[in-house]
Structure 1
Amino acid sequence: MEIRLIMTVSSIDRIGPFEYRRFLPSIPPLDGAYDATSHDVVIVGGGPVGLATALGLARHGVRSVVIEADDTVCEGSRAACISRRSLEILERLDAAHDFVSKGLPWRTGRSFYRNEEVLVFSMPDDGVGKFAPMINLQQYYIEHYLLQAIERRNSLTPGMIDVRWASSVTDMKVGETGVDLEIRNALGIYRCRAGWLVACDGGQSFVRNALGLSLIGTGYEGRYAIIDIELPSDAPTERRAWFDPPWWPGSTILMHQQPDNIWRIDYQLRPGDDPEAALTPTAVETFVQRHLDAIGEGHLRWRPVWTSLYRAGAMTLDSYRHGRILFAGNAAHAMPIFGVRGLNSGFDDADNLAWKLALVVRGCAPADLLESYSDERIAAFWINAESAMRSTEFMSPPSRGFDLMREACLSLAGDHVSIASLINPRQTRAVTYQDSTLSSDSDPFDVGPAPGAPAKDVKLPQENLYLSDLLMAPAFTVLVFGDDRIGRDLNDALLKTGFPVHIAMVASGHPSRDSGRLSDSGQLLREAYGARNGSVYLIRPDGHVAARWHDPTPDRVRGAIERACAINEGSKETLCRN
C-alpha cells in the first residue's frame, strides 16, 4: 500500500529526455446538462490500471470513457517494477514492446547487514518465456506508453477510448441499470450516464468514499521516504537493500536503477524522525550524499528529481463489485511495495475484469460473471498479501519482538544459507485461481498448468514464436494437441455457438506453412503441458486455464466455456449470435 502522506515536487516539464505533455479539459456535445452520448463504461482514474482497463475493453470491442483529474501523466517513479506476468498482459494490449525497449531488465537482488553482504537472490527464471522476470520503468513512462497504445487503438477505431483530462467526478447516483455522474473541469459542469462504472481512482478513491466503503486488513506504522535522483552510475541493474547501515543506523535502505540514469532510493524513517523535515532539500542532500559516499559513488554529481513518503499496509475491500460499480487497482486494495505487488496486482485486476465486463456489455454473458472478478481477485489479494506482509514485517518490524527476530536472522545470515533465505523479499509472481467457479472438472494430468493457473509460455520451433503469441486473440483459446479429427469437431461445434473462440492446432512434426497448425517438433509444448495425442486445453481470454482433458467431446468443451462465462440453463439466451 502507498498511503501518500506528503509529496514535494516542483512543476516538472522534463525529466531527462522525458517531456511531459499537458492535456486540455474538454466538454463533450451536450443534450441539456447531459453528455449527449450514453456510455457503456466509464472509468474513473487515468493511471496505469484505468488505462489498461480501457485498452482491455477495447480489445474486446467495447468503448469506454476515462475521467482523469490531472492534466498529464504522473510525476515521479512511483510504481516502477513491472513483472513478467504484467508484460504478458501488456503484450495483449499492444504496449509491451515500448515497455521492454525502454525498461531495464533484472533478475538479481543483494542484501547487506551493516557492511556485510548476507544474501544474493535470483528470481525464478527458466529461460523459456520471452520476457525477463522483472523490468524497472518509471510510472510516467508506463502511463505514456499506455496512452500511445490508446492512440494506436483509436487510429484503427476512432473514439474507442475517450480520455477526458483535467476532469473530476464530483457526484454520482447509482441505479439498477447504470450510474449517473457529475463531472467538473475548468470549462464547466456536465452530467454523464454510464451502464457500468470502473473505479480506478487510487488509494484516496472518490468513488469508494462516496459509497461509504472502507478497506480492511493490516496497516503498518513504519514510514518510508522515496527519493528519485539523477545519477550517472554504472552500477548493475539489481535490487540492493541495506539493513541497519552504519551510515544511517536503525534504518533500511533500498536502491533501484531506472532508465535515463534515474535511481530510486527508498529509506525507512527511524523513530522520532519528522516526516516533513525528511523531505526538505537540506535533509535530502545530507541523506543522499552520505549514502552515496558509503557505497563508493559519492564522487558522482547527482541531483534530486522527486520525493514522496508512504506508509505500508495490506488492505482490501470485501467486494470489488457493488452493483453497477467495479473497483480495481489501489481503489480496491493496497499492497506494501516490498515484492512489487501493487501495480502488478492492478494490471491483473484489469486483465481479469476487461474480458468479463466486455462479455456482459455485449450481451454474451450474464452480469453474474462479474462476481467471479471480485472473488478471484480478492483470493489473489490474500495470496499476495501473505507474502507481502511477511516481507513488510521483516523490512519494517512492527514491534520489538519482530525487530529482535530480524536482528538475529541478519546477524546469522552471512554464515547460514537457510537463514539467509528468510531475507528474500518474495517478489510477485502470477497467481493461480485455485478455487475459481469458472473452472470445470478436468482429466488428471501428470504435469502442466492446472485449471485456474496461468498458461505456461513455451518457445515454439517456428522463428521467434511463443505459445503466448497464440493467446493474443480476444477469445477463448482451445489448444488441441495432434488429433485433427478432434480439432475439426470442436471447430464445427464451437464456432456456431457465437462464443469468441480460437482453435489452435499443435502438430508433433513440421506442418506445412499453409496448414494452420503449429509445430512442436521438439515436444517441448507437449512436455510442458503433459499432453498426448488428442489432449485439449481451454484457455480463458486472460490466459488462465479453464479446463483440460485428454479426449474431450465438443459438448464437454462447450459446457466448460459456458461455465467460464457463468452461463447456466436459465441464462443461455444471453449467448452471442453474431
Structure 2
Amino acid sequence: MNKIFEVPLYPYERSPDQDANEAVRHPVVIVGAGPVGLGAAIDLAQSGVPVLVLDDNDRVSFGSRAICFAKRPLEILDRLGCGERMVEKGVEWELGKVFFDERQIYEFNLLPEKGHRRPAFINLQQYYFEEYMIDRLRELQAEGAPIELRGGNKVAAIGNHSDHVKMEIDTPDGPYELEADWLIACDGAGSPIRRMLGMEFVGQVFEDNFLIADVIMEADFPTERWFWFDPPFNRGQSALLHKQPDNVWRIDFQIGWDIDREAELKPENIDRRLKEMLGEDVAYELEWSSIYTFQCRRMERFLEGRVIFAGDAAHQVSPFGARGANSGLQDADNLAWKLKLVIEDKAPESLLRSYDAERVYGADENILNSTRSTDFITPKSDTSRIFRDAVLDLAEHHEFARPFVNSGRLSVPCTYDGSPLNTPDALDGPARARPGSPCPDAPLGKGYLLDRLGGQFTLLTIDAEAPDQIEEDGITATRLALSAKDDPTGALAARYLGDAASAVYLIRPDQHVAARFPEYDEAQVRQALRRATGKE
C-alpha cells in the first residue's frame, strides 16, 4: 500500500511574518494546497507574481479521491511544467464500456482522432497528483520564483476590505495576522472562507449515495472505464470500475439514499460487496473507502470583493463525469493571467468579472450535464426507470439510442460562448476553434501546437502575414507563424482553417481563442486585444 499521504511534505515552520510588528501584506494569498490551489500558485509564480499558499494540513490528500484527469487539464499541466510526469505515472485510457445486467451493450472512444499530444484521460491517484505539483513548486522555489507554501497555517478569521483582505492565522506557535491584496479561496467543498463571508451554495442535493472502494489487486481487467446498470452483484443499482497505477482499482457502488453510513463503511460490509462483484477467490487489499452524496451546487458568484473562489469551494458536481478537479484546474487557468494583469496595472479590476462570468458559465454547464447523468443513473420513479431500461435495451443493437445513454457525460473543456472578452467571429472557420474555445491541439513536425503557445498572448497566423509582435496599451501579442504545410497530417488545417485559405487567431494566455480573422488587420487586432483584457 502506498503511504505517501502519511508523509509531511510541507511541515509547519515558523515564518518571519509571525514575528513582524504588524500584519505583513502579500500580493496574493491562496488558501488550500490541493490541485486547484497549487495550480493557481504555480501559474502565478511562473509569470513572476509573488504568491503565498496556506494550508492547515502538511501533506497530500488521504486516499485516491479524484482520479480521472481529462485531456484539457493535462494540457494546462503541461504549461505549468508538471504534465509529463503525471502522464508517465498515470494510466491512459480512451475506451469506455457500458453494461446492462450481465451483458455489454456498447463501447465508446473518447478520442478517436489522431494528432493530439495528450490522451482523452489518465487515471492517477490524487496523492500522486498533489505530490508532483508540490515537487514542481519546489523546483520553482529553487529557480528563485516568488512562491511559498506554509503548512500548519489555518485561516481562523477574515476581513474583506475594499483594497485588501485581512486574515487571522492559527499555527502551532499561536495566531498571527496577514494581509493580502487578493485572496484565492481553494479550501474545498466545506470552504471555511465561504462560511466566514456568509456565502452559500445554491443548487440540488440528490437523494442517492455511492460507496467508493479503492482496492489493490492483481486483475486482468483492461484499462477502460466500465459502467454497469443493474448488475447482478448490485441489483437495482449501478457500479463503476476504473484502473489506477500500482494495481489500485476504483470501484463505485450505488447504495441508495436511506443508508447507515457507519455500517456501510465497515470492512466486512465492503468486503461482502467486493466479493459479490469480483468473486470469492479474488485476493485484494482495501486501500481507501468513502461515501459521497450526489450534489450539483455552486455559489451565486465566484468573486466577492478581494476574495476569489475556485474549485470545490465555488462549485460541486457529482463525481460521474470527472468534472470536479478538472473544472477546478480550468478555474485556476482562467484566473491566473487575469489576476496578473490586474496586479501589474495592465488591465482594470473589472477584468476579474470575466472570471466570474466565464467560470460560472462553465460551472452551469457542468451542473447541467451532471444533473442529467444523475437523473439517468438514479431514476426516481418507475416511469423513469422503465424509460432508462428501454433506452439501454435499444442501445445494444441500435446506434441511434446510444447518445441517450448517460453513465456520466465525461468532462470536456468549456467554450466561453458569449464571453465579454470575445471578439465577434470574423472567420468562417471550424466551430471547434471559434472565439471562446480552447485551442485544439495539432501536430507540428516533431512537436505540438499547444507547446508553442505558452502562457502569453499569441498572434497565431496560418498562411497569413503579420508583424512579429503587436503591443496595445502595455499588452504584447507575439506572433507564431505557421503554414498548413507544417502539418502533413492535415489536422492543423482541418482544426483552424476549414475551407479558409488563411487565418489569424488572437490566443489568450490560457490558450482560449479571443478572436479570429481571415487575414491580419492591425486595427482589428488592437481592438481585439483591448477587448480580451477588459478595456472595451
- Tell me the TM-score range normalised by the shorter chain: over 0.9
Using a 3 Å threshold, how does the CA distance of structure 1 residues 523 and 233 change in structure 2: closer, same or farther?
closer
How far has the Cα of 1:270 moved from its partner? 3.3
Distance in 2 between residues matched to 1:546 and 1:243, nearest whole Å = 42
CA distance, structure 2, for counterparts of residue 434 and residue 263 of structure 1? 38
1:120 paired with 2:98, answer: no
* Residue number in structure 1 paired with 2:116: 129
SS of equivalent residue, structure 2 residue 228: strand
Match 1:393 to one of 327, 351, 375: 375
The amino acid of 2:527's aligned partner reads G
Offset of 1:183 from its aligned partner? 0.7
After superposition, the Cα gap between the structure-2 partners of 1:398 and 1:215, relative to the gap in structure 1 and judged at 3 Å, is farther
1:163 maps to 149
Offset at 1:550?
A: 1.6
Partner SS, residue 236 of structure 2:
coil
1:501: how far off? Answer: 2.3
Q: CA deviation at 1:520?
A: 4.6
- Structure 2 vs 1, CA of residues 106 and 386 (structure 1 numbering), >3 Å: closer, same or farther? same
Partners of 1:269 and 1:535 in 2: CA distance: 53
1:194 maps to 2:180: yes
Amino acid at match of 1:467: L
* SS state at 1:247 partner: helix
Q: 1:246-395, aligned counterparts within 5 Å?
A: 246-270=232-256, 272-293=258-279, 298-395=280-377
Aligned to 1:48: 35
Counting only pairs closer than 5 Å after superposition, residues 152-231 of structure 1 correspond to structure 2 as: 152-158=139-145, 160-231=146-217
Q: Which residue of 2 aligns with 1:70?
A: 57
User: TM-score, normalised on structure 1?
Assistant: 0.88
Instruction: Report deviation, 1:211.
Output: 1.0
Instruction: Note if 1:505 corresponds to 2:472.
Output: no
Q: 2:392 aligns with which of 404, 410, 415?
A: 410
How much has 1:496 moved relative to structure 2?
7.3
- C-alpha separation between the residues in 2 aligned to 1:290 and 1:53? 43
Matched letter for residue 492 of structure 2: L
Return the letter of the residue paired with 1:478. Answer: L
| Amino acid across the alignment from 2:41 | A
1:451 aligns with 2:427: no
Counterpart CA distance in 2 for 1:508 and 1:398 is 52
* Change beyond 3 A, Cα 1:184–1:500: farther
Aligned residue number for residue 495 of structure 2? 528
d(CA) in 2 for partners of 1:257, 1:271: 27
Q: Does the Cα contact within 8 Å between 2:188 and 2:311 map onto a contact in 1?
A: yes
Secondary structure at the counterpart of residue 194 of structure 1: strand
Instruction: Please say if 1:428 is aligned against 2:428.
Output: no
Matched, 1:559 2:527: yes
Once the two structures are superposed, residues 353-379 of structure 1 have per-residue CA deviations (whole angstroms, 9 ceiling, x without a partner) of 011011111111111000000000111
Question: Offset of 1:226 from its aligned partner?
Answer: 0.7
| Structure 1 contact 487–505 (Cα < 8 Å) conserved | no
> How far apart in 1 are the matches of 2:98 and 2:484?
46
Aligned partner letter, 2:435: P
* One-letter amino acid matched to 2:300: D
Whether 1:468 aligns to 2:461 is no
Q: Note if 1:108 corresponds to 2:76.
A: no
TM-aligned CA deviation for residue 338 of structure 1:
1.1
Query: Is the contact made by 2:117 and 2:448 (CA closer than 8 Å) also made in structure 1?
Result: yes
1:68-116 deviation line (CA, Å, top 9, x unaligned) = 1212000111110000001011011001011110000111111222212
CA offset at residue 481 of structure 1?
A: 2.5
Deviation at 1:56, TM superposition (A): 1.3
Return the letter of the residue paired with 2:456: A
Bigger shift: 28-37 or 419-428? 28-37
Residue by residue over 1:371-393, the C-alpha shift from the partner in whole angstroms, topping out at 9 and shown as x without a partner, is: 00000011111222222111111
Identity of aligned residues (%): 36
Match of 2:460 in 1: 479
Note if 1:235 corresponds to 2:215.
no
| Range moving further from structure 2, 379-388 or 174-183 | 379-388
Within 1, Cα distance between the matches of 2:409 and 2:472?
Answer: 46
Paired residue for 1:38? 25
TM-score normalised to structure 2 length: 0.95
1:572 aligns with none
- 2:49 maps to a residue whose letter is V
- Deviating more after overlay: 371-380 vs 500-509: 500-509
Structure 1's unaligned 5+ residue stretches are 1-13, 510-518, 569-578
| Residues 408 and 40 (structure 1), Cα distance of their counterparts in 2 relative to 1, 3 Å cut | same
Shift of 1:545: 0.4
Q: What is the total number of aligned residue pairs between the two structures?
A: 533
The answer to whether the 8 Å contact 2:5/2:59 transfers is: no
Tell me if structure 1 keeps the 8 A contact 2:294–2:374: yes
Q: CA deviation at 1:66?
A: 0.9
Instruction: Name the CA distance, whole Å, in 2 between partners of 1:273 and 1:36.
Output: 48
Q: Which segment drifts farther, 534-543 or 351-360? A: 534-543
Alpha-carbon offset, residue 562 of structure 1: 1.1
Instruction: Tell me how far apart the structure 2 counterparts of residues 66 and 146 of structure 1 sit (CA, whole Å).
Output: 13
State the shift of 1:250 in Å.
2.1
Q: CA deviation at 1:508?
A: 5.4
Partner-residue secondary structure (3-state), 1:76:
coil
Contact persistence 2:209–2:257 (CA under 8 A): no
- Tell me the equivalent position of 2:421: 438
Shift of 1:497: 4.7
RMSD between superposed Cα atoms in Å: 2.0
Distance 2:376 2:153 in 1: 41
Determine if contact 2:23/2:177 at 8 Å carries over to the other structure: no
Shift in Å, 1:300: 3.0
Q: Report Cα offsets for 1:446-505 as digits up to 9, x if no partner.
A: 325111111111101x22x11111111x31010122344x235xx2xx247531422111
Q: Supply the distance in 2 between the matched residues of 1:169 and 1:136 (Cα, whole angstroms).
A: 32
Q: Can you give the 5+ residue segments of structure 2 that lack an aligned partner in the other structure?
A: none
